[in-house]
A and B are shown apart, each in its own frame.
Chain A
Amino acid sequence: MAFRTTANFDAPIPGQSLTAELGARPWQTPPEFPTIEEAIEYYIPRLSDANNAVRMLEVIERGIPLTALAEVLTLAGVMEGKHTVDVGVLISPVLVEFMEGMAKVAEIEYTLGDVDEGMQADPKLVADAMKELKDSRTEITKEFKEFKEQDEEIQPVVDEKPVGLMARRGE
């Protein structure tokens, strides 16, 4: 069961989008790069630019997840009216792949951000559970051994041949 972990009040005020003329905001105008290809062609040269690359690698080195970086980049692109939200979502994996490649080439440790930290179990709890499981396992094997020994001690029951009118002949 998933629980809401974000703040309930961290949202726009109802009607906030109507406080400016329609089309006055960049994201309300037609996007500059409507296709995935055009958006990638806009981002990749910018990311691979020497000055930007150094700054970006510094940020990656600090431990900022690549997914968060891609999200920030695409969100800024949407706000500037460069591309639409759906193109931003679609190119995010490409940007992450590119940034990961750059980090690998520069031999920098990076965080991908694909693991949800909130969903990760506490390592101490996991260790305790594993210990408990190990103890119960040894108990089970001990009980199983005892049961097996008891089973071997029981004498096999000798089948008595049925004697009577209805008994089969020749067995």
Chain B
Amino acid sequence: MSYERQPARLAVINMRNQLDRMMKKEEAKTSSMSSLGLLAPRQAKQESNQTSESARVLNYMKQIRTNMSV
């Protein structure tokens, strides 16, 4: 069986890799986050404003993964 004519499978693989990377990045960010103030970078705020379909899907996947982790 190949990836041909299986776009959903390819989407699953790519999105899961993306989610893994995103969660690792967030873990690293929370451990190094210290500056909170008016002059702090607004990166976190910008990320939450992302409304692309893939970003929304990633967000749902993240919520499911964190809530259903045993």
Contacts and interface: CB of A to CB of B under 8 A. Distances in A.
Interface of A: 2, 4-6, 36-37, 40, 66-68, 70-71, 74, 88-94, 96-98, 101-102, 104-105, 113-114, 116-119
Contact of B64 (A4, A6, A101): A101
Contacts of B8: 67, 70-71, 74, 88-89, 92
Given A2-B2, A5-B1, A6-B5, A93 B68 contact: no
Nearest to A71: B8
Nearest to A6: B4
Contacts of A113: 9, 12
Given A70-B8, A71-B6, A93 B1 contact: no
A36 B53 contact: yes
Nearest to A93: B15
Contacts of B12: 66-67, 70, 92-93, 96, 113-114
Contact of B57 (A90, A104, A118): A90
Interface string B27-70: 00000000000000000000000000110110011001101111
A117 B1 contact: yes
Majority-rule SS of A interface residues: helix
**B: interface residue count bin:** 20 to 34
Interface of B: 1-9, 11-13, 15-16, 19, 53-54, 56-57, 60-61, 64-65, 67-70
Contacts of B2: 2, 4-6, 116, 118-119
Contacts of B56: 36-37
B64 A97 contact: yes
A146 B9 CA distance: 54
A90 B59 CA distance: 12
